[in-house]
Amino acid sequence: MTVRIRSALDTLPAYAPGRSVPGAIKLASNELAFPTLPAVAQAIADAAVHESSGINRYPDNGAARLVTALAALTGAPESHIVTGCGSVALCQQLVQATAEAGDEVLFGWRSFEAYPIVTQITGATAVRVPVTAGHELDLAAMADAITPATRLIFICTPNNPTGTTVRAADLIAFLDRVPEHVLVTIDEAYTEFDDADDSPDGLAEATSRPNVVTLRTLSKAYGLAGLRVGYAVADPAVVTALRKVAIPFALNSLAQAAALAALGARAELAPRWQQVVAERTRVHAALRELGYEVPVSRANFVWLPLRERSAEFAAHSEQHKVIVRAFADASGGVRVSIGAPHENDAFLAAAAAFPR
């Protein structure tokens, strides 16, 4: 007899992480290319053997010290903050807390590939609204797509994988059109790399509107991708709902210690973010000089909308020992993380050799 599995999983795509290939440069997962800060590594080592809170003990389920540090960083009250196992876990918790079969979760497309996956897990319907010709989220069209069944909306800015941002005035106009019972998630996983003058302040919206939540992560800019630390800022009622659907003890002791150390080293990390932005500008200019279409990115990656040639480009890059992330479908393209200067040079050499 075969174990009965929910039929909804039959068509559920598996999340495909960026590939690692021995001997090749990995520019597929938007990781920070810099080594772990010594202070962070030491905090992890100390946490592992701490007499009263080492890894033989369960972690603080509420991550109280980390929440306090995040409140100091964001200016939001502690009652408005909840941590999670990366911001993607919080995305899933948001869907679980708001949507079920017959409900709709709305987002731009192309956007973060986890959105349709976490939506389908609960049996809700994913509603994709195409991005503009400039690869930006079409907020006006998204507002028009809201129906009585809409329960949750994801706004990813800077958008993954296109790198484009929404403008503050456009976001405010959009939020003013959203019914109060619909929760809007502003996913700001790449906010530390966003140098646009007119980008929105998700924190301000999340602390002033009860139906807005902003998500942030320490995986990218803080270099903690391997430990999975994210957080949400939202109305206390939303925070309570997120805690109810969270897996207990999901944020482990080592991750909490590393996050505290990384937040304390923000001044040391900031120059790294500036280098990423400078390298992103250089890579963008070089690709445009080669004749590629490349939207302006405010994240730590660039997007090449190569569509039907995306898989071919990725295979070509791999032959040149550079691994990039291909999305090979009708709205597809290639996302390339910004790495160290020599890694970016290797990628640009591969791009220059690609037959077009």
- Long-range contacts of residues 8-16, Cβ cutoff 8 Å, at least 24 apart: 8/120, 8/121, 8/123, 11/120, 12/117, 12/120, 12/121, 13/116, 13/117, 14/117, 15/113, 15/114, 15/117, 16/113
Give the mean model confidence (pLDDT) for residues 88-114: 97
Give the mean model confidence (pLDDT) for residues 233-246: 98
Structure tokens at 30: 């938007």
As a whole number of angstroms, the longest Cα–Cα distance in the chain is 61
Amino acid 1: pLDDT: 58
Among 8-12, 50-54, 312-316, which range has the highest average pLDDT?
312-316
> Taking Cα atoms as reference points, which of 261, 236, 214 lies closest to residue 74?
214
Taking only the tens place, the pLDDT of each residue in 117-158 is 999 999 999 999 999 999 999 999 999 999 999 999 999 999
Question: Beta-carbon neighbour count of residue 101 at 10 Å?
Answer: 9
Taking only the tens place, the pLDDT of each residue in 199-224 is 999 999 999 999 999 999 999 999 99
E runs forming strands in the chain: 25-26, 81-84, 104-109, 125-130, 150-156, 183-187, 212-217, 230-233, 301-304, 322-323, 325-327, 333-337
Structure tokens at 73: 């960083």
Give the mean model confidence (pLDDT) for residues 97-120: 97
Report the relative pairing of strands 81-84 and 230-233 from DSSP bridges.
antiparallel
User: Following CA atoms 81, 87, 93, 97 in sequence, which dihedral angle do they give, to the nearest 10 degrees?
Assistant: 60
Give the mean model confidence (pLDDT) for residues 242-267: 97
pLDDT of 19 higher than 90? no
Taking only the tens place, the pLDDT of each residue in 170-179 is 999 999 999 9
Q: Which CATH number fits domain 7-36+267-353: 3.40.50.261, 3.90.550.10, 3.90.1150.10, 1.10.10.10?
A: 3.90.1150.10
Amino acid 11: pLDDT: 77
Do residues 257 and 46 make contact, with C-beta atoms less than 8 angstroms apart? Answer: yes
Structure tokens at 50: 């701490």
Give the mean model confidence (pLDDT) for residues 55-83: 97
Q: Which helix (H) or strand (E) holds 41?
A: helix 38-49
pLDDT of 17 higher than 90? no
pLDDT of 20 higher than 90? no
Taking only the tens place, the pLDDT of each residue in 296-345 is 999 999 999 999 999 999 999 999 999 999 998 877 999 999 999 999 99
Tokens 């700001």 belong to: 188
Q: Return the domain boundaries, the chain.
A: 7-36+267-353, 39-264
User: 193 pLDDT band (50/70/90 cuts)?
Assistant: very high
pLDDT of 281 higher than 80? yes
Mean model confidence pLDDT for the chain: 95
d(CA 61, CA 248): 7
The string of DSSP letters for 175-215 reads HHHS-TTSEEEEE-TTGGG---TT---HHHHHHH-TTEEEE
Structure tokens at 139: 């907020």
Cα–Cα distances in angstroms (integers) from residue 338 to residues 228, 282, 327, in the given order: 20, 10, 17
pTM of the model: 0.95
Tell which phi-psi region holds residue 82, choosing left (phi > 0), alpha (psi between -120 and 50) or beta.
Answer: beta
* Local structure of residue 235 (DSSP, 8 states): -
Instruction: Please count the CA atoms within 13 angstroms of the CA of 83 that sit on its side-chain side.
Output: 30
CA angle 106–111–113, rounded 5-degree value: 95
d(CA 71, CA 77): 6
Instruction: Please count the CA atoms within 13 angstroms of the CA of 241 that sit on its side-chain side.
Output: 21
What is 39-264's CATH topology? Aspartate Aminotransferase; domain 2 (3.40.640)
Residue predicted with more confidence, 117 or 12? 117
d(CA 95, CA 185): 10
